[in-house]
Amino acid sequence: MNPSCSARLKMRFGPSGIHLFSRESGLNVLIDEVVPPAEMWTKAPRHVSIALTNACDLLCAHCYAPKSHAVLPFDRLMDWIKELDEAGTIGIGFGGGEPTLYPRFAELCARISTGTAVAVSFTTHGHHLTDSLLTDIANTVNFVRVSVDGIGTTYERIRGKSFTALQHRLRMLQTVAPFGINYLVNSMTFPDLTTALEFAGDIGATEFLLLPERPIDGRPGIDSETMRALGEWVSGYRGSVRLAISESGATGIATCDPLARDTGLRAMAHIDAHGVLKRSSFDKRGISIGSEGILFVLERFQIDGEAQKL
């Protein structure tokens, strides 16, 4: 077994200090009184999102995920995750497409849980969280993110799925793993925001992530008036559910980031369903991960980035 698994505590060195993380409790400790020298900084990103497959059974108009068929090979995926674990990554977040449609999904989560020390999370529309799947992923997944765009009829108009059915799935999920709500914000969903936070608290969500819609594939994204209203709403929020916002949507909104110096690929990276490493899921460009592994590709990114500065 990987030696890092026995301690169940990951340690990262970086420009913000020494970061300690426990995947079992979710505890994060930052020792910022000491900043290690640059040659000691952890090489791997703190978090890596991975699109397991492009397959999804919904057709949401705002979705930016590619519609081309692609599925990551299981064994190759495990090799990458083990490499990231050994290099200091603390969290893996699965997405897609719809990650629960990935073959051997529960087995993948179990293998990571027992064979590495990284935390496992995934983002899902929630309708495939059957009792059987929830039983299979119990004690192997550290956090689940569920996409909820609007409440009631607003949700059903966007997602084409029953909101009542989603509520039932979330109540079952609450017994298995901590979860949060991913909430797309645009002019259609913003009026439901306060009700959505009340729903999140009632259903047992521990986090509410605001995702201002980005312009993609001809859609304009969130308009300036809705963005202004969102900023005012956030300033007045006093609820009990922890509020977060995407980095790309945080402009003009007060946030707290203790690891603000850990930027770019030091903070996160994305692997798409074709095995291409990118800076984020929105990037069109990336580098295919070959037999040399992920750290080799990360070094190429850094070299390319330095060359562009010259």
Write down the pLDDT at residue 1: 36
CATH number at residue 141: 3.20.20.70
Tell me if 9 is assigned to some domain: no
Tell me if 16 is assigned to some domain: no
Write down the pLDDT at residue 255: 82
Tell me if 30 is assigned to some domain: no
Tell me if 21 is assigned to some domain: no
DSSP the chain: --HHHHHT-EEEEETTEEEEE-TTT--EEEETT----GGGS--S-SEEEEE-BS--S---TT--S--S--B--HHHHHHHHHHHHHHT--EEEEESS-GGGSTTHHHHHHHHHHH---EEEEEE-STT--HHHHHHHTTT-SEEEEE--SSTHHHHHHH-S-HHHHHHHHHHHTTTS-EEEEEEESTTTGGGHHHHHHHHHHHT-SEEEEEEPPPBTTB--S-HHHHHHHHHHHHT---SSEEEE-GGG-TTS----TTTTS-GGGTEEEE-TTSEEESSTT-S--EE--TT-HHHHHHHHHHHHHHHH-
Q: State the pTM of this model.
A: 0.92
CB 180 within 8 A of CB 208: yes
Write down the pLDDT at residue 45: 96
Which residues are CB-neighbours of 207 under 8 A, at least 6 positions away? 180, 181, 241, 242, 243, 244
Write down the pLDDT at residue 303: 66
Write down the pLDDT at residue 309: 35
Query: 268 lies in which domain range?
Result: 41-309
Write down the pLDDT at residue 310: 27
The number of distinct structural domains making up the chain is: 1
Tell me if 24 is assigned to some domain: no
Q: What is the pLDDT along the chain (310 residues), one digit of tens a residue?
A: 343 444 468 999 999 999 999 998 889 999 999 999 999 999 999 999 999 999 998 878 777 777 678 999 999 999 999 999 999 999 999 998 999 999 999 999 999 999 999 999 999 999 999 999 999 999 999 999 999 999 999 999 999 999 999 999 999 999 999 999 999 999 999 999 999 999 999 999 999 999 999 887 778 889 999 999 999 999 999 999 999 999 888 888 878 889 989 988 999 999 999 999 999 988 888 999 999 999 999 998 876 654 333 2
Tell me if 34 is assigned to some domain: no
Tell me if 25 is assigned to some domain: no
Tell me if 10 is assigned to some domain: no
